[in-house]
Amino acid sequence: MTLLNLKYPILQAPVGSVATPELAANVCNAGAMGSLALTWEKPQAAVRLVAQMRALTTGPFFVNYVLAFPPKSLDAALEAGAPVVTFSWGQPGKLADRVRCSDARVGIQVGNLDGAKQALDSQADFIICQGVEAGGHVQSTTALSTLLAQVVEISGSVPVVAAGGLANGADLHRALQQGAAAIMLGTRFVATAESRAHPVYKQALVDSKPGDSVYTLCYDGSWPYAAHRVLRNATLNDWESAGCPQVGHRPGEGETVASDNDGYVLRRYDDDPPLSSMEGEILDCCLYAGTGCGDIDDLPDAAELISRIWNEYRALSNADAKPTIARSHQHPGHMKWGNDE
Ligand SMILES: Cc1cc2nc3c(=O)[nH]c(=O)nc-3n(C[C@H](O)[C@H](O)[C@H](O)COP(=O)(O)O)c2cc1C
């Protein structure tokens, strides 16, 4: 499977505005695949971001579009040379053809078996199987291990990437054993040196324990009624204590909780995560976190994290000097990674 030619079977999830080209490119340069979330970017910004990525890395990277919103910068990103596009929260239909016409690859994130069948019908180059353990907005209502088994079963030679609640080499080991070709990590990459997340948010991830992430509808912003997973905080506690009231009746609604010097304001219940440029009640903001948050104990840089995950995986799998070849026949859908000797 020569699809992506990754050295390591690890993808950095699109993590909204938290991922910078620096983070994504460092991931690529370390032998994994980085990404940018372009859903909310204007075409000009998408061109600039893709150009930045191409200047910073020669490795493959992907750009993501959440199909709950119109993919207004997709054409621009493709023209700028995005090599891989993933779609989430919907099926791309004809958009997949548009991507392929630009010689780019298509990945589709799914949250259930029916979505996986549709992705296969759309001839996705790879499928991202997201479990309910995922941080950020959660497409799935099914545990990753259950859904992954179902999706791998029907995927044939199409690689399946496991996502949701994964943070370390043991998670990689488990996912590959289940037939995944790779894993995709979101929350774990939020807690890296290069991420744009506010330091207080990063530290909250480091301090979090297993069970601190909550699946909820508490935050909305521009995307109401979309389930998400976050760290428990005062905003969530107060909303739950008030009986989870609807918009217009929530405690502290409309209060400014954080802002930056450019006039960007986060109000209570906004679904944007706090960035490093902001000041305010950072812990009251929307702190996305998957169930793997309890396994986050530090803030490494991306390259260090990737090599650590790989070493943990190797220790567990008793891999020999050529683990990539040893593994490559285990599942026909494996993405190629490592040396091709
Ligand atoms: C801060 C944050 C922002 C996210 N933004 C996006 C996004 O823009 N598009 C998308 O498809 N998924 C997004 N996700 C979900 C990820 O793609 C991925 O499915 C999830 O992070 C995997 O779970 P994990 O966080 O437990 O690793 C986001 C996740 C986080 C933590």
Segment 12-48, tens digit of pLDDT: 999 999 999 999 999 999 999 999 999 999 999 999 9
The H-assigned helical ranges of 218-322 are 234-241, 302-317
Give the position of tokens 């000041």.
279
Is 182 in the same domain as 254?
no
CB neighbour class for 289 (10 Å; exposed up to 12, middle 13-18, buried from 19) = buried
Is 290 in the same domain as 306?
no
Q: pLDDT band at 3, cuts 50/70/90?
A: low
Average pLDDT of the chain is: 93
User: Closest residue (by CA) to atom 29 of ligand 1?
Assistant: 136
Q: What is the percent of the chain where pLDDT is above 70?
A: 92
Segment 176-219, tens digit of pLDDT: 999 999 999 999 999 999 999 999 999 999 999 989 999 999 99
| Pocket flag, ligand 1, residue 66 (CB < 6 Å) | yes
| Pocket flag, ligand 1, residue 131 (CB < 6 Å) | no
Give the phi and the psi of residue 178 in degrees, each rounded to 5: -80, 0
Segment 44-59, tens digit of pLDDT: 999 999 999 999 999 9
Is 53 in the same domain as 116?
yes
**Tokens in use for 152?**
């791998």
Q: What total of structural domains would you count in the chain? A: 2
Is 185 in the same domain as 315?
yes
- Establish if 45 belongs to a structural domain: yes
Q: What's the rounded mean pLDDT across residues 58-78?
A: 97
Q: What's the rounded mean pLDDT across residues 171-179?
A: 97
| Pocket flag, ligand 1, residue 187 (CB < 6 Å) | yes
CB 131 within 8 A of CB 29: no
Please tell me the pTM assigned to this model: 0.94
How close is the Cα of 50 to the center of ligand 1, in Å?
A: 19
- Establish if 340 belongs to a structural domain: no
Q: pLDDT band at 303, cuts 50/70/90?
A: very high
Is 175 in the same domain as 237?
no
Rounded Cα gap, residues 119 and 335, in angstroms:
17
Report the pLDDT value the prediction gives residue 319, as an integer from 0 to 100.
52
| Pocket flag, ligand 1, residue 213 (CB < 6 Å) | no
- Cα-based torsion angle of the residue sequence 276, 281, 285, 290 in order, rounded to the nearest 10 degrees: 70
Is 68 in the same domain as 211?
no
Is residue 283 over pLDDT 50? yes
| Pocket flag, ligand 1, residue 235 (CB < 6 Å) | no
Segment 118-161, tens digit of pLDDT: 999 999 999 999 999 999 999 999 999 999 999 999 999 999 99
How close is the Cα of 318 to the center of ligand 1, in Å?
A: 31
Is 65 in the same domain as 151?
yes
Is residue 291 over pLDDT 80? yes
- Establish if 336 belongs to a structural domain: no
Q: What's the rounded mean pLDDT across residues 103-113?
A: 98
Q: Over the range 243-261, which residues count as b (16 or more CB within 10 Å of their CB) and which as e?
A: eeeeeeebeeeeeebbbee
- Establish if 26 belongs to a structural domain: yes
How close is the Cα of 13 to the center of ligand 1, in Å?
A: 6
Is 48 in the same domain as 170?
yes
CATH number at residue 171: 3.20.20.70
CB 272 within 8 A of CB 221: yes
How close is the Cα of 14 to the center of ligand 1, in Å?
A: 6
Is 170 in the same domain as 308?
yes
- Establish if 335 belongs to a structural domain: no
**Tokens in use for 18?**
């938290």
Q: CA 215 → CA 149, 171, 297, distances in Å?
A: 22, 20, 22
Q: What's the rounded mean pLDDT across residues 63-85?
A: 98
Could you list the residue range(s) of the whole structural domain that residue 235 is in? Answer: 199-294
Is 119 in the same domain as 262?
no
Q: Please name which of 223, 190, 13 lies closest in space to residue 109, comparing C-alpha atoms.
A: 13
Is 180 in the same domain as 47?
yes
Report the pLDDT value the prediction gives residue 340, as an integer from 0 to 100.
34
Report the pLDDT value the prediction gives residue 221, as an integer from 0 to 100.
86
User: Closest residue (by CA) to atom 30 of ligand 1?
Assistant: 136
Give the position of tokens 């998400």.
228
- Establish if 1 belongs to a structural domain: no
Q: CA 159 → CA 148, 182, 330, 337, distances in Å?
A: 11, 8, 12, 12
User: Ligand 1, from 10, 11, 15: best to mutate by most atoms within 8 Å of Cβ?
Assistant: 15
**Tokens in use for 181?**
């070709």
Is 31 in the same domain as 119?
yes
Segment 241-254, tens digit of pLDDT: 999 999 999 999 99
- Establish if 3 belongs to a structural domain: no
How close is the Cα of 93 to the center of ligand 1, in Å?
A: 22
How close is the Cα of 136 to the center of ligand 1, in Å?
A: 5
- Establish if 236 belongs to a structural domain: yes
Q: Which of 279, 294, 309 is the last residue of a domain?
A: 294
CB 62 within 8 A of CB 107: yes
How close is the Cα of 132 to the center of ligand 1, in Å?
A: 12
CB 192 within 8 A of CB 301: yes
Q: Please name which of 301, 304, 265 lies closest in space to residue 285, comparing C-alpha atoms.
A: 265
Q: Which residues pair with 126 in a beta bridge?
A: 107
